[in-house]
Amino acid sequence: MTDSIAPEDVVSIIGRVAQEQVLPRFRRLASHEIREKSPGNLVTIADTEAELALTSALMKLLPGSLVVGEEAVAEDPAILDRLAADDPVWIIDPVDGTMNFAKAIPRFAIIVALVSGGELRAGWIHDPVRNVTVMAEAGGGAWRLDAAGKHRLHRTAMPPLGNARGVVGGRFGARGRVQEILERSGQIGALHRVTCAGLEYADLVEGRVDFAAFSRILPWDHAAGVLIHREAGGTSGFVDDHAAGPVGYSVRRQAGLLLHAPTSTGWSELRDALMNG
């Protein structure tokens, strides 16, 4: 499905939008350029302008494609229905980690995914501050692009669970908060959260953390990261009381606990810690 486009062209588009719409506004936002689109949920002029620029450029790159952008969905939730289309669909998070961005914390990202017929085809996560992109095409492996070039990403090993580092957030149904369950289990290592899903996925595939658990499931936060992690060799899926293994990710699913680990054994050990903690 990506045969008609070059993944590096998407990298160029994202990088240009970062340089023109996002970075010039970092630590320079005026008060009127930040607002709440819902209680506790910020949006800035960088979010809206970057999404418009990405939407225009990506649709030109792939004629006939559709777009599901976080800010467009905030204005019209029916746009999510495009994810059911057979047409190629770009999923855009123009500034992931808006709260960090608005507070002048340099932990935010631009995330783009490409899906077709509900299947993940490609994903890109760009860190504008470091000018680093992690990306993947379905069946083509996962890669890091930086000033030194293009490097293959592999996640095929996990330390013993007691030494494993993770990023976690949210709740595991009625059982309570994920962090508290895992800490109570006494079976895992250090836990942290940077409130930017894109960079948490980058930390995961680049080996700075060993596992991740998310319960806020929105397609622009996870579609690209799930694919990149999968192509790096990792195991991803939803935890289900009635399934021993991971339940596959879908861009249309917006509830549940999404768990990632480098190996299927590590995934199962984490699931057991959550189920029994």
> Does position 55 have pLDDT exceeding 90, yes or no?
yes
List the structure tokens of 143: 């890669």
Residues 235-264 pLDDT 10s:
999 999 888 899 999 999 999 999 999 999
pLDDT average, residue stretch 204-225: 96
Residues 112, 125: Cα–Cα separation, whole Å: 7
Of 3.40.366.10, 3.30.540.10, 3.20.20.140, 3.40.50.2000, the CATH number of 2-153 is 3.30.540.10
Residues 200, 222: Cα–Cα separation, whole Å: 10
List the structure tokens of 238: 């939803």
Q: How confident is the model at residue 3 (pLDDT cuts 50, 70, 90)?
A: low
Q: What angle do CA 225, 251, 49 make, to 5 degrees?
A: 70
Residues 100-142 pLDDT 10s:
999 999 999 999 999 999 999 999 999 999 999 999 999 999 9
Three-state DSSP at 22 gives: helix
> Does position 186 have pLDDT exceeding 90, yes or no?
no
| Per-residue model confidence (pLDDT) at position 2 | 61
Q: For strands 142-146 and 235-238, give the pairing.
A: unpaired
Q: For strands 149-153 and 142-146, give the pairing.
A: antiparallel
Pair 115, 75: CB distance under 8 Å: no
> Does position 25 have pLDDT exceeding 60, yes or no?
yes
* Better-predicted residue by pLDDT, 47 or 277: 47
Query: Hey, what CATH class is 161-276 in?
Result: alpha beta
| Per-residue model confidence (pLDDT) at position 212 | 96
pLDDT average, residue stretch 148-163: 93
Pair 271, 185: CB distance under 8 Å: no
Residues 34-46 pLDDT 10s:
999 888 899 999 9
Angle at which helix 45-61 crosses helix 7-17, to 10 degrees, equals 150
| Per-residue model confidence (pLDDT) at position 224 | 98
Pair 69, 86: CB distance under 8 Å: no
Residues 40, 90: Cα–Cα separation, whole Å: 26
DSSP output for 57-85 = HHHHHSTT-EEEEHHHHHH-GGGGGGGGS
pLDDT average, residue stretch 216-235: 97
| Per-residue model confidence (pLDDT) at position 195 | 87
Pair 50, 22: CB distance under 8 Å: yes
Pair 23, 135: CB distance under 8 Å: no
Alpha carbon distance, N-terminus to C-terminus of the chain: 42
> Does position 1 have pLDDT exceeding 70, yes or no?
no
> Does position 213 have pLDDT exceeding 80, yes or no?
yes
List the structure tokens of 94: 């123009």
DSSP output for 158-192 = ---GGG--EEE-SB-GGG-BHHHHHHHHT----EE
* Better-predicted residue by pLDDT, 275 or 58: 58
* Average pLDDT of the chain to the nearest whole number: 94
Q: Where are the domains of the chain?
A: 2-153, 161-276
Residues 229, 263: Cα–Cα separation, whole Å: 11
